[in-house]
Amino acid sequence: MTKIKIVVAGCLGRMGQEISKQILKNKNLEFVGGFEHKKHKDLNKQLNKVSDIKSSKLVTANSAQLIKEANVIIDFTTPESTLDNLKIASANKTSVVIGTTGMTDAQKKKVKSYSKKIPILMSSNMSLGVNLLFNLVQQTASALKNTDYDIEIAETHHKHKKDAPSGTALSLGEYAAQGRKITLNKSKVLDRTKKSTSRKKGDIGFSVTRGGEIAGEHTVSFIGTNDRVDLVHKANNRSIFVSGAIEAAIFISKKRTGLFNMNDLLF
């Protein structure tokens, strides 16, 4: 069996390091290397000298060369960096797994346009459990009417996370909105401090907590007059996201074009 060649964007980031380590442990995969932004302090140093990644490959800013050599790029970086990498991947027919969050609608449209040339799997969360939660939220939102149950989404992450609400929380909101056949952009409430008004029927509220080293916790609450239904997922560590990203890379390496998500892999 020919090994799948994988390159990791942002290889010295929290997710990048864990993904790189798992690729090296998998006998069916080949770690082509990892790259970082051109101002990173550890450029041109061996990975095993600046991280727990057991590889003597150098940290490089030459993303184009590595992407050209790879079958798949796994990218958990920033929206701007991801789009730059997609441009290079598209020119080299390299498949892409995107775990980057915080993308605008315009940026997501660009991702979709690239998927006409190369296969892309994009998900706000690579966890099997979270993707099952997406489906449960949609089903529950459909079953419990907005006249009877209010929807609130709470999420907690480590203190290093920059985007808020998390991409996963927003995806949960999208699935809840789909279940109720409404548009999230018109129903989401991200901040209740700016207006002194009561809750409107159909609102989907969000609350955010940042602290410590929490890998990720999400709760979707359906709150009625006489009862409450909570759908909860708690990640004990990042390994579930790493395993999902690896499975996504194997899946997308077999596709020719198109935009996929974890549901395509799981169901």
CA atoms within a 13 Å half-sphere pointing along the CA-CB vector of 217? 15
Strand order, beta sheet including 204-210? 188-189, 204-210, 150-157, 216-223, 228-235
Query: Alpha-carbon distance 68 to 106, whole Å?
Result: 26
Task: Report the chain's terminal Cα–Cα distance, integer Å.
Answer: 25
Contact 248, 265 (CB under 8 A): yes
> Do the bridges between strand 258-260 and strand 228-235 make them parallel or antiparallel, or are there none, so unpaired?
unpaired
Per the listing, tokens 């974890």 go with: 262
The reply to whether 157 belongs to the active site is yes
Q: Is 161 a catalytic residue?
A: yes
Instruction: State how far Cα 185 lies from the chain centre.
Output: 20
H runs (alpha helix) in the chain: 14-25, 47-50, 63-69, 79-92, 105-114, 128-143, 167-179, 184-187, 239-252, 262-266
| Spatial separation of the C-alpha atoms in residues 209 and 201, rounded to whole Å | 25
User: Which residue in the list 5, 21, 40, 157 is annotated as catalytic?
Assistant: 157
Residue 156: exposed, middle, or buried by beta-carbon count in 10 A (0-12, 13-18, 19+)? buried
5, 21, 161, 188: the active-site residue: 161
Greatest Cα pair distance in the chain: 63
Catalytic positions, please?
157, 161
